[in-house]
């Protein structure tokens, strides 16, 4: 992993670069090296999740002074959910820097939204520990709290996709489970969404509901790309 390149990209150089390495270390990597849960980025992810919630809450509170609490909550959810964070990470692109175990690598972990979004939160946690709230907040604003209009569809993607389909004439939208992998305590589900029998999106998640939401998001993203090209 090219630590210097990643630091140049995010425009922050760590006083303790090992924190950045830790943030990029997936549990599959630490498990293969028998370093246990302390060797993975899971604790940093836990901290980063809290920092992200505070930063985004303050951002939307100040930016939209007239919105009620319910609308602010819905808007924040659009930006801090798994597919949104994975999408935001592509700009870096963060997946290039992940340390994954061989099994996770071979099964597509580097492109898995859950893995990438966890690494984004872990990176935020590492920034907070290394430099305090300011660098973490700056990173969040630069890579996550941007393109507000374009990212709002991340919230409840299934509902948004259904509305989009109805605009096109109310065609038949069906979600189907493709696969279920992993032990009971750490399942990974893959789901496809079909429009009139044709697959228009596929997503993975730690629950069936999450996989369906991610599949719907991928379909929405494809529709957005098609509109830009037309």
Q: Each residue of 92-115: pLDDT tens digit?
A: 999 999 999 999 998 888 888 889
The per-residue pLDDT for range 17-31, each reduced to its tens digit, is 999 999 999 999 999
Which residues are designated catalytic? 49, 121
The Cα 24–Cα 22 span in angstroms is 5
What letters, b where the CB count within 10 A reaches 16 and e where it falls short, cover 57-88?
Answer: eebbeeeeeeeeeeebeebbebbbbbbbbbbb
Q: What is the pTM of this model?
A: 0.75
Whether 170 shows a pLDDT value over 70: the answer reads no
Q: What ranges do the domains of the chain cover? A: 3-153, 157-229
Residues 6+ apart with CB under 8 A from 26: 40, 41, 98, 99, 100, 101, 104, 109, 115, 118, 119
Between 60 and 209, whose confidence is greater?
A: 60
pLDDT at 218: 85
The mean per-residue pLDDT over the stretch 134-160 comes to 84
Between 228 and 24, whose confidence is greater?
A: 24
Percent of the chain scored above 70 by pLDDT? 95
The mean per-residue pLDDT over the stretch 63-82 comes to 90
* Least confident among 37-41, 52-56, 120-124: 37-41
pLDDT at 147: 76
pLDDT at 209: 83
pLDDT at 154: 66
The architecture in CATH of the region 3-153 reads Orthogonal Bundle (1.10)
pLDDT at 181: 84
Average pLDDT over the chain reads: 89
Query: CATH classification of 157-229 is 3.30.160.20, yes or no?
Result: yes
Quick check: 1 and 24 in contact, CB under 8 A?
Answer: yes
């Amino acid at each position: 992993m090219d630590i210097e390149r990643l630091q140049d990209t995010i425009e922050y150089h760590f006083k303790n670069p090992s924190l950045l390495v830790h943030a990029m270390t997936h549990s599959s990597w630490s498990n293969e090296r028998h370093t246990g849960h302390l060797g993975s980025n899971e604790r940093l992810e836990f901290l980063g999740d809290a920092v992200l919630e505070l930063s985004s809450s303050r951002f939307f509170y100040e930016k939209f002074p007239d919105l009620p609490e319910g609308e602010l909550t819905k808007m924040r959810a659009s930006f801090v959910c798994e597919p949104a964070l994975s999408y935001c990470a592509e700009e870096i692109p963060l997946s290039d820097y992940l340390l994954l175990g061989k099994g996770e690598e071979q099964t597509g972990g580097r492109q898995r939204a859950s893995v990438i979004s966890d690494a984004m939160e872990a990176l935020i946690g590492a920034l907070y520990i290394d430099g305090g709230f300011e660098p973490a907040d700056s990173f969040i604003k630069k890579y996550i709290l941007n393109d507000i209009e374009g990212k709002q569809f991340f919230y409840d993607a299934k509902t948004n996709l259904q509305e989009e389909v109805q605009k096109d004439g109310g065609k038949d939208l069906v979600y189907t489970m493709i696969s279920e992998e992993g032990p009971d305590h750490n399942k990974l589900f893959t789901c496809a969404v079909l429009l009139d029998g044709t697959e228009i999106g596929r997503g993975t998640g730690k629950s069936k509901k999450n996989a369906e939401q991610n599949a719907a998001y991928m379909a929405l993203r494809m529709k957005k790309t098609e509109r830009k090209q037309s």
